[in-house]
């Protein structure tokens, strides 16, 4: 049976935290709202981390910060606006986290931009915008985090890639190229970071349902994509966040340069 975006097959419910990240501090980009970034910030807080959330959408960022502060306390979470296409803003974001919390132990580079266009119709502006946010923005944030973490003697960076970096999908040349680039960036940067005690990994979700995705993708396409999943449903954002928490924690202490598929797609 095929389910529409509004009629998802019920999945599991989120679990409670276990203190996996107690005493650590994290930065999460594109964390405003109900997507993967917002869910990741919440899961990091569940696990005892102190978190700076960031987003280019200042109104949504303020609202998300207020909700998280109400749930976890104002000392546990702070916010700083950031457009990841502007390097000065990226630097200011990490400086804000260091000023507030003293150090940065974890960086989750979640910011990305999609869209649908056949390559024959795609403009240079469409291509460049997706690459600048999704790939170059991830590079800027990885570079800034690595500079801080290397000076601190260690840390963890988790990048958000996508299964379309491996698997072809029509209309996604720019996004797929960007996410494949995130995977390659993750692998190469991890080798450079290892001598400094910094681990860098990535997650590659297949389909995670959230309100922003519904706004830019048709119900028909989302339903068709859901049929490719073994569970007959998309992932909940917190299910992706759980894997990000694993990669940020000591449970993945021997993993670096890896891209972990968070998917139930059949082979």
What pLDDT was estimated at residue 154? 98
- Asked whether residue 232 carries a pLDDT value surpassing 80, the answer given is no
What pLDDT was estimated at residue 218? 59
Position 6 confidence tier, pLDDT thresholds 50, 70, 90: very low
Position 3 confidence tier, pLDDT thresholds 50, 70, 90: very low
What pLDDT was estimated at residue 210? 54
What pLDDT was estimated at residue 226? 64
- What is the C-alpha separation between 130 and 3, in angstroms, rounded? 29
- What is the C-alpha separation between 7 and 235, in angstroms, rounded? 13
> DSSP characters for 175-232?
HHHHHHHHHHHHHHHHHHHGGGTEEEEEEEES-B--HHHHHHS-HHHHHHHHTTBTTS
What pLDDT was estimated at residue 150? 97
- Asked whether residue 26 carries a pLDDT value surpassing 60, the answer given is yes
What pLDDT was estimated at residue 233? 73
- Asked whether residue 7 carries a pLDDT value surpassing 70, the answer given is no
3-class state of residue 25 by DSSP: strand
What percent of the chain lies above the pLDDT cut of 70?
Answer: 88
Looking at per-residue pLDDT, the higher value among 212 and 48 belongs to 48
Going from N- to C-terminal start, the domains of the chain cover: 25-262
Q: Are 230 and 11 in contact (CB under 8 A)?
A: no
Instruction: Cite the active site residues.
Output: 175
What pLDDT was estimated at residue 221? 62
What pLDDT was estimated at residue 149? 98
What pLDDT was estimated at residue 1? 37
Mean pLDDT of the chain: 91
Residue 163: name the closest of 9, 70, 267 by CA.
267
Range 243-250 average pLDDT: 98
CATH architecture of the domain 25-262 equals 3-Layer(aba) Sandwich (3.40)
3-class state of residue 118 by DSSP: coil
pLDDT per residue as tens digits for the range 211-224? 555 544 556 666 66
What pLDDT was estimated at residue 2? 40
What pLDDT was estimated at residue 217? 55
pLDDT per residue as tens digits for the range 107-135? 999 999 999 999 999 999 999 999 999 99
Q: Are 3 and 233 in contact (CB under 8 A)?
A: yes
- What is the C-alpha separation between 256 and 229, in angstroms, rounded? 27
pLDDT per residue as tens digits for the range 181-204? 999 999 999 999 999 999 999 999
Range 165-173 average pLDDT: 94
């Amino acid at each position: 049976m095929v389910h529409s975006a509004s009629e998802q097959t019920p999945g599991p419910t989120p679990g409670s935290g276990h203190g996996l990240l107690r005493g650590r501090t994290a930065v999460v980009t594109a964390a405003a709202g109900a997507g993967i970034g917002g869910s990741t910030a919440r899961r990091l807080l569940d696990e005892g981390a102190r978190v700076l959330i960031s987003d280019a959408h200042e109104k949504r960022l303020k609202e998300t910060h207020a909700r998280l502060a109400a749930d976890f306390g104002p000392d546990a979470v702070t916010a700083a606006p950031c457009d990841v296409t502007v390097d000065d803003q990226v630097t200011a974001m990490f400086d804000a986290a260091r000023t507030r919390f003293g150090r940065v132990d974890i960086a989750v580079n979640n910011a990305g931009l999609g869209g649908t266009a056949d390559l024959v119709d795609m403009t240079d502006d469409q291509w460049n915008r997706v690459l600048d946010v999704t790939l170059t923005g991830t590079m800027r944030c990885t570079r800034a985090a690595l500079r801080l973490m290397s000076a601190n003697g260690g840390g963890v960076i988790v990048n958000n890639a996508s299964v379309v970096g491996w698997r072809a999908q029509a209309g996604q040349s720019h996004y797929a190229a960007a996410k494949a680039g995130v995977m390659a960036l993750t692998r190469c940067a991890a080798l450079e970071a290892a001598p400094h005690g910094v681990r860098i990994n990535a997650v590659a979700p297949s389909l995670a349902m959230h309100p922003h995705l519904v706004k830019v993708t048709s119900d028909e396409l989302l339903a068709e994509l859901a049929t490719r999943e073994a569970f007959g449903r998309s992932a909940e954002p917190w299910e992706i966040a759980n894997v990000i928490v694993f990669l940020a924690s000591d449970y993945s202490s021997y993993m670096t340069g890896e891209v972990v598929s968070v998917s139930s797609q059949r082979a």
